[in-house]
């Protein structure tokens, strides 16, 4: 502690200078008559170019992530999509982001847990998603990925009926082995092996179709 104008001044126990918290870069600490390190003030430079003085507690607790510009941008973004939030496409967009990015979502294991992601532009903006995908043709249509192992991104997403999606599942993906092309389910039936096991060896373990067929066929023969 030091004395200033007859007052005891307690300096922070930890110097946050040079550290970044969100958009804020801490430049230096200020000698503050506030008691305790959590009340110490730090001079920060925001990414937008604005200087701000922020309490240590607000920095380390992530209560402050910018000079205030982030809150303004978030409010503006919410206002810009407010007029579209009643659209069915908006709720479909929200569901798409949840199953790819939220581990608590019941469908996460088949999407985000499998490495399926939403393109950054779509993830941040419903308007960009709607611009690229367009309005849903009718209530019987839902969002479908053309490449079922690809991401939700421009060029790989379309509106499709349940019948179209059923023909585009991972089990119905057409794969070539031994000079012939069949769906995954057809290969599994021909070799009398579980389609789920075949898909797991290819999609999760990175095996070629030919190697997976030979190995699983051998394992099934041994089990019989």
Q: Which pLDDT tens digit goes with each residue over 117-128?
A: 999 999 888 889
pLDDT computed for residue 172 by the predictor: 62
pLDDT computed for residue 42 by the predictor: 92
Contact at 8 Å (CB) between 63 and 57? yes
DSSP letter for each residue of the chain: -EEETTEEEPPPSS--TT-EETTEEEEEEE---SSSGGG-EEEEEETTS-EEEEEHHHHHTTS--SSSHHHHHHHHHHHHHHTTTTSHHHHHHHHHHHHHH-TTSTTGGGTGGGT--B-HHHHH-HHHHHHHH---SSTT-EEEESSTTS-B-TTSEEEE-HHHHHTTSGGG-EEEETTEEEEHHHHHHHHT--HHHHHHHHHTT---HHHHHHHHHHHHHHH-
pLDDT computed for residue 96 by the predictor: 95
Residues of the chain above pLDDT 90, percent = 24
**Cβ-proximal residues to 127 (8 Å cutoff; 6+ apart), any chain:** 80, 81, 84
**Confidence at 69, pLDDT banded by 50, 70, 90:** confident
Enumerate the β-bridge partners of residue 7: 4
Where do the structural domains in the chain lie, given as residue ranges? Answer: 2-70, 84-166, 170-223
Q: What is the mean pLDDT of the chain?
A: 81
Q: Which range is least confidently modeled, 147-151, 161-165, 168-172?
A: 168-172
pLDDT computed for residue 1 by the predictor: 45
pLDDT above 90 for 27: yes
pLDDT computed for residue 33 by the predictor: 54
Angle of CA points 61, 65, 69, to nearest 5°: 150
| Residue bearing the bigger pLDDT, 176 or 72 | 176
Span 77-85, average pLDDT: 61
pLDDT above 60 for 193: yes
Q: Which range is least confidently modeled, 2-16, 81-95, 129-143, 196-210?
A: 2-16
Span 105-109, average pLDDT: 90
Span 173-186, average pLDDT: 81
pLDDT computed for residue 119 by the predictor: 92
Angle of CA points 58, 61, 66, to nearest 5°: 55
């Amino acid at each position: 502690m030091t004395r200033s104008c007859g007052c005891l001044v307690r300096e922070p126990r930890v110097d946050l200078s040079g550290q970044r918290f969100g958009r804020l870069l801490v430049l230096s600490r200020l000698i503050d008559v506030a008691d305790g390190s959590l009340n110490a003030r730090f001079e920060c430079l925001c990414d937008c170019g604005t200087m701000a003085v922020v309490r240590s507690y607000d920095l380390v607790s992530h209560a402050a992530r910018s000079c205030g510009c982030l809150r303004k941008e978030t409010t503006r973004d919410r206002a810009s999509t407010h007029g579209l939030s009643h659209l069915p496409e908006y709720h479909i967009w929200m569901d798409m982001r949840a199953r790819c990015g939220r581990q608590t979502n019941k469908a996460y294991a088949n999407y985000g847990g499998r490495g399926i992601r939403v393109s950054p532009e779509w993830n941040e903006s419903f308007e960009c998603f709607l611009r690229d995908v367009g309005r849903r043709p009718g209530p019987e249509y839902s969002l479908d990925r053309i490449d079922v192992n690809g991401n939700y991104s421009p060029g790989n997403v379309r509106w499709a009926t349940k019948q179209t999606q059923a023909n585009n599942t991972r089990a119905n993906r057409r794969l070539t082995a031994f000079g012939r092309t069949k769906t995954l389910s057809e290969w599994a039936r021909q070799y009398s092996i579980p389609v789920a096991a075949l898909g797991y060896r290819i999609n999760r373990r990175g095996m070629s179709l030919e190697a997976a067929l030979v190995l699983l066929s051998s394992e099934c023969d041994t089990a019989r």
